[in-house]
Amino acid sequence: MRRIKAGIIGMGFIGVSHIEAIRRIGFAELVAVADVNFELAKKKASEYFIPKCYSTIDELLADPEIEVVHNCTPNNLHLEINSKIIKAGKHIFSEKPLSRTSDESAQMLELLKEYPNVIHGVNFNYRMNPLVQEMKHKIKNGEIGDVKLVHGTYLQDFLLHETDYNWRIEPEVCGPSRCIADIGSHWMDSVQCVTGAKITEVCADLVITIPVRKKPKGQVETFSINTNVEYEDMPVKTEDWGAVLIKMDNGVHGVFCVSEVSAGHGCSLAFEIDGTKASLKWEQERADEMWMGHRDGPNYAIKRNPNHMTPEAKQYTYLAGGHPEGWNDAMRNNVMAFYKFIADGKKLGVDTPDFATFDEGHYIIKLTEAIVESSKKRQWVKVD
Ligand SMILES: NC(=O)c1ccc[n+]([C@@H]2O[C@H](COP(=O)([O-])OP(=O)(O)OC[C@H]3O[C@@H](n4cnc5c(N)ncnc54)[C@H](O)[C@@H]3O)[C@@H](O)[C@H]2O)c1
């Protein structure tokens, strides 16, 4: 197997997780990073002994040894930067959401038609937790019977206080949806992945719980807590909370809610799939365990153990039972699936990847827009 060389654009909160994920893949090599904040890029390059550090995207893209580029910048830059990466003929692994609007993501899909050899992936990392993969294959094997219902949540509290501020609050940067685009996108991707079905209709209620926030005068790091800062008032235009009824193309009905203002919740992603024989439930904050419910027999808490997993899911687990795997491992699995697809010489459109492609990323943006429209119109909205 040959070594695949990579570069990362954006050294903020998630960029660092990409460094660590690439570093855990034996046949991948991180050769360069770039950030508009060049001091930050230099600091990360120095801390992680990354050989090259660039202050501009163009310099990184001109580097001939780089084959894969990760885009870890805020949402408003995804169209511009992803398009540049594609035009450079490099494989692209973009952060989610793929873009702010479906018009932007459609432009990327259009451009990709001219570059059929470019492999494209979106970092919907939760689908690559070993037990989420196990859930997917248990459902595929008929272990819970016919799927009838799905339900769950994704709750956070990083915007609980009116003084909490982040680029995600600004629609010009984040897009017209915040909570749904930022974390609801993960929930929808995970559920579509495990059920193998698409959400096709939505009915939503989006709520702004803090109509005016206090914006610190100065830069704010993702998930950081600020003290002793001056503020200016900022009217909020995007949702802090969303409740969404869904219908899927296999007849399944469901519901989920998302929040960035629910105290005590760091990353409470959870979903349950109810079938005619049994139910399966997985919670991100207890990632190494899955619940299987039965009416006519005992319920089980299934601990992740490679010895008892389906072969498809087993390829994404590394540690023996009792040694917990979690968020970082799912990140690594997602990046690994992307690099392995390239290393194996697979082609999109011919081979089906385990990671989400730009097509799936685009569909999630369309769902997000349908949810916003539904909440405005107070009615069900179908997605094409
Ligand atoms: N998959 C996940 O679980 C997950 C988690 C967090 C964030 N994200 C996504 O990752 C992206 C980044 O989020 P974040 O929380 O890391 O943000 P962040 O603000 O912490 O980091 C963004 C970085 O991009 C840099 N940047 C901005 N403009 C640039 C440019 N023109 N060229 C190069 N670098 C530039 C900034 O200087 C900053 O270092 C977002 O799209 C977000 O939705 C995904």
Q: Ligand 1 centroid to 15 CA: how many Å?
A: 7
We report the CATH number of the domain holding residue 132 as 3.30.360.10
> Would you put residue 345 in left (φ > 0), alpha (ψ -120 to 50) or beta?
left
Q: Which of 73, 105, 125 is the last residue of a domain?
A: 125
Residue 123, ligand 1, Cβ within 6 A: yes
Model confidence at 222: pLDDT above 70: no
Q: Ligand 1 centroid to 178 CA: how many Å?
A: 15
Q: Ligand 1 centroid to 194 CA: how many Å?
A: 27
The answer to whether 200 and 192 are in contact (CB under 8 A) is no
Domain identity same for 12 and 106: yes
pLDDT per position as a tens digit, 312-364: 999 999 999 999 999 999 999 999 999 999 999 999 999 999 999 999 999 99
What is the reported pLDDT for 155? Answer: 98
pLDDT per position as a tens digit, 267-314: 999 999 999 999 999 999 999 999 999 999 999 999 999 999 999 999
The answer as to whether 163 is a domain residue is yes
Domain identity same for 96 and 245: no
Where residue 1 falls among pLDDT bands split at 50, 70, 90?
A: confident
Measured torsion, CA atoms of residues 77, 83, 85, 90, in degrees rounded to the nearest 10: 150
Domain identity same for 148 and 71: no
Domain identity same for 186 and 39: no
3-state secondary structure of 277: coil
Q: Which of 108, 125, 142 is the last residue of a domain?
A: 125
What is the reported pLDDT for 146? Answer: 98
Domain identity same for 162 and 266: yes
What is the reported pLDDT for 384? Answer: 84
Indicate the pTM of the whole model. Answer: 0.97
CA distance linking residue 334 with residue 123, whole number of Å: 7
The answer as to whether 258 is a domain residue is yes
What is the reported pLDDT for 225? Answer: 64
Domain identity same for 149 and 119: no
Q: Ligand 1 centroid to 195 CA: how many Å?
A: 30
Where residue 217 falls among pLDDT bands split at 50, 70, 90?
A: confident
Number of domains in the chain: 2
CA distance linking residue 96 with residue 364, whole number of Å: 10
Where residue 92 falls among pLDDT bands split at 50, 70, 90?
A: very high
Residue 56, ligand 1, Cβ within 6 A: no
Domain identity same for 158 and 263: yes
Domain identity same for 84 and 132: no
Domain identity same for 263 and 213: yes
We report the CATH number of the domain holding residue 68 as 3.40.50.720
Domain identity same for 219 and 102: no
Q: Ligand 1 centroid to 34 CA: how many Å?
A: 12
Residue 53, ligand 1, Cβ within 6 A: no
Lookup: tokens for 174: 């984040």
Where residue 51 falls among pLDDT bands split at 50, 70, 90?
A: very high
- Parallel, antiparallel, or unpaired: how do β-strands 199-207 and 241-248 relate? antiparallel
Residue 156 lies in domain: 128-321+360-382
CA distance linking residue 21 with residue 23, whole number of Å: 5
Domain identity same for 53 and 151: no
Residue 77, ligand 1, Cβ within 6 A: yes
pLDDT per position as a tens digit, 13-48: 999 999 999 999 999 999 999 999 999 999 999 999
